[in-house]
Amino acid sequence: MKLARFSRIGFILAAAGSAVGLGNIWKFPYITGENGGGAFVFVYLITVMIIGFSLMIAEMMIGYLGRRDSVSNFEDLAPRHKNFWKYGGFMSLAGLIIMIFYSPVIGWTFHFILLSLGSLPSSIELAEKSFTEFISIDLGSQLFYHTLVFIFVTAVVARGIKGGIEKLNFLLMPVLIITISGMFFYATTLAGFTQAWDFMFSSDWSKVTSASLVTAVGHAFFTLSLGMATILTYSASLPKDSNLVRSSLIIIALDTGIALLAGLTLFTFLYEYGAELSAGPGLVFISLPTVFYEMGFLGNIFAFVFFVALASAGLTSAVSLVEPIIQYLIDRFSLSRLKASLASGLFFYLFGIVAILSISKEYGHYFTFGSKNFFDWADFMTASVMLPMGGLIMAVFVGHVIEKERVASLLKTQLGMIYPLWYFSLRYIVPVALFVVMLNLVGILEL
């Protein structure tokens, strides 16, 4: 089936929208500060260019050459053992499984958008109590927001590449960039900006350990939305004469730039008002609301704008997570886009309800297996196993399976003098790095 084509800017915005997610805003700033500040940023940028850039080019190349869904692309491009390599394309399932817990989290941002219009919590204790009760007791509200996410995402992907995904990113990515930039410029006027800058960029090489290197590699890989066939699927819709290298660099710059601006902004607010420095959901759903409360009426405005931006980042990523499996259903089973979108949407919606129940106080024990509940298992299996495995498969496929001449004919001119370095990195450095990251994440190798 002939794919609709992205415009060049549409592809960049869609791919950047996929890469810029909730993790950029609540994870990157904290791991930067905890791992040596500027020293870690330097290490991170090196790993982005060696690991992230190498893999992004490889994933884009598979989609660009194959022009079909991920499974068909692996099957078509493999010079031999096609029936074996087609299973590499099932990395597209990772995005659908991520949506099981990602959709409820986006729902949390909807809740906080409404909360920002009213009374914000006045202390960390109240904020923590309110958030805990919301995710563990208020099942009705969570199911309502989860349903809104399901309807929104399904409606967008059902409209296709041009009419849905590209239009969404043309709307929401500028909203995200303008919002984060505006808040950043305001943050530069506050006294806490100096402390935030020191926290994130003062180099402390004593904190850069082997574990920090693994953290940098892992985050560089995950934040660029690699290993789940999203970039691969989007690249199948690129115009024929596209420059993959230039597009990759722009996407990486947008992703990293937004993460840095968001980190400086959020930590400026935390230092300015003496709030607790925390990581993950605690940063945006507990610490920040109390900071916004201290700002008075201006804080309500900032809270509303911030959570709208956070929801925008989540929704653009959510659309990209389900698109690969939709394209697979269309290509391999000849489903209409509407039926494929509904099937994919209902999958993450129904299992998302299970994820919500698994973190609830009343039903959580029914959905807890071993040391983790269903919500946490979905997170663990994708982040620790499926995504790095997907990246490893792509690196081996492009670096060792596809004919060298075919790779060179497409990328040698675009990469120029760094082509030999890129190809060496993809063949040898990337697989080893991802293997070590995967072993560390599943607890087999402790660094």
Give residue-wise pLDDT tens across range 253-303.
999 899 889 889 988 988 888 776 665 677 788 888 999 999 999 999 999
| Listed ranges 120-124, 279-283, 394-398; the one with the highest mean pLDDT | 394-398
Calculate ∠ Cα 381-344-148, nearest 5°: 95
Task: Quote the CA–CA distance of 142 and 240 in Å, as a whole number.
Answer: 43
Cβ–Cβ under 8 Å, residues 379 and 56: no
Range from 29-38, 77-86, 139-148, 283-292 carrying the lowest mean pLDDT:
29-38
pTM: 0.92
Task: Quote the CA–CA distance of 88 and 53 in Å, as a whole number.
Answer: 20
pLDDT confidence tier of residue 84, bands split at 50, 70 and 90: very high
Please report, for the chain, the start and end positions of each structural domain, with discontinuous segments joined by +: 8-441
H helical segments located in 243-400: 244-272, 281-282, 288-294, 297-333, 337-358, 374-380, 387-396
Task: Quote the CA–CA distance of 109 and 305 in Å, as a whole number.
Answer: 11
Residue 251 makes CB contacts below 8 A (sequence gap 6+) with 12, 15, 16, 19, 56, 224
pLDDT at 442 over 80: no
Which tokens is 11 given? 């592809």
Q: What are phi and psi of 158, to 5 degrees?
A: -65, -25
Give residue-wise pLDDT tens across range 60-75.
999 999 999 999 999 9
Give residue-wise pLDDT tens across range 173-204.
998 899 999 999 999 999 999 998 988 888 88
Task: Quote the CA–CA distance of 375 and 396 in Å, as a whole number.
Answer: 31
Identify the CATH assignment for 8-441 out of 1.10.3470, 1.10.101, 3.30.420, 1.20.1730.
1.20.1730
- Mean of pLDDT values over 117-139: 93
Q: Give the pLDDT confidence score for residue 248 in this predicted structure.
A: 94
